[in-house]
């Protein structure tokens, strides 16, 4: 798990986003949910990590299998601003 600073930052950002499933992180960076949790535990302050875990545990939007059948994208269409 040797990622550049910008890659680590993007992984954390994706993990923090409510609508980005762990599967999207896995497809882009090869990290399973447990690996993302390890990174978040290491990179975040203890309280921030606890809040994040509480928020994402069981959240339907963070797990593709729990999402409604019609939602196939990993992010909101307006999430990334185009110039």
The whole-angstrom distance between residue 37's C-alpha and the CA centroid of its chain comes to: 9
Tokens of 68: 């409604």
Residue 46: the pLDDT is 97
**C-alpha to C-alpha distances, 25 to 34, 44, 46, 47, 56, nearest whole angstrom:** 11, 18, 22, 23, 14
Model confidence band, residue 4 (pLDDT cutoffs 50, 70, 90) = very high
pLDDT tens-digit series, residues 28-68:
999 999 999 999 999 999 999 999 999 888 776 666 665 55
Q: What percent of the chain has pLDDT over 90?
A: 51
Question: 70 or 58: whose pLDDT is higher?
Answer: 58
């Amino acid at each position: 798990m040797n990622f550049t600073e910008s890659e680590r930052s993007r992984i954390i950002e994706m993990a923090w986003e409510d609508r980005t499933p762990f599967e999207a992180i896995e497809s882009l960076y090869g990290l399973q949910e447990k690996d993302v949790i390890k990174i978040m535990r290491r990179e975040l302050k203890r309280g921030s990590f606890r809040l994040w875990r509480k928020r994402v545990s069981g959240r339907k939007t963070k797990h593709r299998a729990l999402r409604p059948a019609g939602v196939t994208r990993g992010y909101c269409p307006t999430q990334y601003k185009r110039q």
